[in-house]
Structure 1
Amino acid sequence: MIWWTIPEEELLVVTEKWKGVCWVGSRSPLDGSELRALKSTGANALSQTPFGWQSDVNTPEIRWEVDAERQWWGESAKGIQTTHDSSQVLGIMNMLKPHLWVRGSWPGEIEMKNEDDWETWFDNYEQFILDYAKLAERLEIPMLCIGTELEKTSDRENDWRAIIAEVRKVYSGKLVYAANFTEYEKIKFWDDLDYIGIQAYFPLSKKHNPDLKELKAGWNKQLPAVEKMVRKFKKPVLFTEIGYCNTVDAAIEPWVWPNERKEIEFSESAQALCYEAFFESVWDKSWMAGVYFWKWYPNRHDREPDFTPQGKEAEKVMAKYFLAN
């Protein structure tokens, strides 16, 4: 299946856009209504995220089990299969997007202190992602993300090209890497992948409650660099994650976790305007292959603030554009 072409002006034209969310694996099995509720928004894609565990950013050991009893059901091989099969029936495409969970930090800080540890880390990571590549192939999941926000590792071009080559041996679907918005311009191995993947938490404003005009101006500052990468590598772009909290400061540092915003005033309208600005500024770009909004729970919860658009003004904005022709 070909999802894009290269016109004479050297910018890609995507013929099918993925309208996605980052699906949260549930503790217990689904009853079916959860995916139908997502489908009603016009979504046609979701990402599933199992985890590997790293105890320290400077330690090369990685722990993972593809199907462990102590996992949440939705992050286990059985849960991933059931979610995939059930969503596929509804016309929702799946991407398998394994993450590393790093104690006390985040994947962007993973960095080894010597060459021996780097070699060990890449050996471990290769086995980790190959296990999930084999699962994705067995379940016929059509897209695999080979890494997420591993910013201090991705300059090791040859190591990543070697991993991609090994994944291609066991997996026949589309491949993407989810680069942090501060990372994607530095990556040299996009030509080995099918998409340029961006964790698109770009800052769009410096103030609380910006209006739509200011948010769109924020996007206009970011898009030339994205289009430069499209021209260079001739690859379409996936926003493998994008999201905003329902707080007045949502556009300033969109990546900040909700538990760091507890003293910030809530604002559904600020979150919704950030969604509107994305759709008005980016969605119709010829190179835009799809978006995955962070994040979507099988069952809505009442913890606030949070990134999810569920039950908020942002969901209405998302559905308006996802359901449009």
Structure 2
Amino acid sequence: MGFIWFFPEGEMPVWSQKLKGVCWVGSRKPLSGGEFAALKATGANAISQTPFGWQEGTDSPGIRWQVEGDRQWWGESGTGIQVTLDSAESHQISNMLKPHLWVRGSWPGEIEMKSEEDWNRWFENYETFILDYAKLAERISIPYLCIGTELEKSSDREEDWRKIIAAVRQIYKGKIVYAANFTEFEHIQFWDALDFIGIQAYFPLSDKEVPTLNHMNQAWKSHLKDIESVVKKFQKPVIFTEIGYCNTHDAAKEPWVWPNERGEAQISEEIQALCYESFFESVWDKSWMAGAYFWKWYPEGKHRDPDFSPQGLKAETVMKQYFLAD
């Protein structure tokens, strides 16, 4: 899907043929047809698919999952993932398999065991979980695999992660990435073992009541310095494994906040679209930028407000403009 050239030491890697992606929401029922024609019309050429494993609590070492199960949504099952892959590829849209952990009452960034014994058990369980999906990805020829997402309190355990990466490489021959939270990526020491530096790019862009494009672009300058420091050290291209903004007036302040936690936030297509514009103006043309996946895209269209999806909104128009320009 692209080619990497490495400049001399200390300079930046260059990536061509960017991944113009969206985070595809697995549907309850099989696709009805036409979903990928609509996505292709935006200029998108990539999706990520996200099945789930389930963890009872942030300090629980147990993980439950089923690649195929009768309690899953169709789009998150192995069968649904393969059909979605086939449908996407018929429109020249590539796939990344990006399994997540769903943690009761929390999020993956808070997963932290209370003892070394529990950490060992958790990593054993997590390795089995991700290898099951690596086997699926290899069997059906998914070209990209994300081996973990926002597991911030585990990623300092470098040797445990290197063991997982080596085990995945034994099974899966495609490209692999880890999706580090925007507060995490600078601290990771195993980027050299992966094909990409992956960032969940929910960086704050402005704390102004009425943010402007200039405010946001200035904020990106600071974030880009941090990203480029890591790129220079590890000489790897970057994928924004997720980036997204709610259609609310406070979207630029705390992009990571879920819609149902935004209280009485005022709906604003304009601010959401400005956030998209700032990303494309500030980041998209960087030589090390291998691609980005916008959170999120519903096969059947957006049906609630507020929401992260750009579908049918001014943000989609911005995305389409830049995706089609390349």
Q: How does 1:193-232 map to 2 (within 5 A)?
A: 193-232=194-233
For 1:281 and 1:270, the matched residues in 2 are separated by 16
- The within-5 A match list for 1:128-139 is 128-139=129-140
Counterparts of 2:249 and 2:21, CA distance in 1? 25
Alpha-carbon distance, 1:301 to partner: 3.1
Residues 1:6 and 2:3 are matched in the alignment: no
SS at match of 1:71: coil
Question: Shift of the alpha carbon at 1:284?
Answer: 0.1
Tell me which amino acid in the other structure corresponds to 1:120: R
In 1, distance between residues paired with 2:255 and 2:48? 20
Whole-angstrom distance in 2 between the partners of 1:225 and 1:214: 18
Please show how residues 146-185 of structure 1 align to structure 2 within 5 Å. Answer: 146-185=147-186
Relative to structure 1, the CA distance from residue 308 to residue 2 in structure 2 (aligned partners, 3 Å threshold; closer, same or farther) is: closer
Matched residue of 1:213: which SS? helix
Q: Equivalent residues in 2 for 1:1-325 (5 A)?
A: 3-8=3-8, 10-325=11-326
TM-score in terms of structure 2 length: 0.98
Can you list the C-alpha shifts for 1:188-221, whole angstroms capped at 9, x where unaligned?
A: 0000000000000000111233111111001011
Following the alignment from structure 2 to structure 1, what is the Cα–Cα distance between the partners of residues 302 and 157? 40
Q: Does the CA-based 8 Å contact 1:262-1:305 persist in structure 2?
A: no
Q: Residues 236-261 of structure 1, C-alpha deviation per residue, up to 9 Å, x if partnerless?
A: 00000000000110000000000011
CA distance in 1 between counterparts of 2:262 and 2:208 reads 15
CA distance in 1, matches of 2:123, 2:142: 24
Contact in 1 for aligned 2:2/2:15 (Cα 8 Å): no
For each residue in 1:1-41, what CA deviation from the matched residue of structure 2 results, as whole angstroms up to 9, or x when unmatched? 76211123620111120000000000000022111111100
TM-score, structure 1 as length reference: 0.99
Partners in 1 of 2:20 and 2:202 — Cα distance? 17
In the alignment, the residues of structure 1 paired with residue 207 and residue 176 of structure 2 have an alpha-carbon distance, to the nearest angstrom, of: 35
Partner Cα distance (1:307, 1:2) in 2: 28
Do the aligned partners of residues 2 and 272 (structure 1) sit closer, same or farther apart at CA in structure 2, a change above 3 Å counting? closer
Q: Deviations over 1:70-109 (max 9, x none)?
A: 1000000000000001101100000000000000000000
Q: Is the 8 A contact 2:53 2:100 kept in 1?
A: yes
Q: How many residues are paired up?
A: 325
Decide whether aligned partners of structure 1 residues 194 and 260 sit closer, same or farther in structure 2, where only a CA change above 3 A counts: same
Cα deviation, residue 159, structure 1: 0.2
> How far, CA to CA, are the matches of 1:209 and 1:5 in structure 2?
41
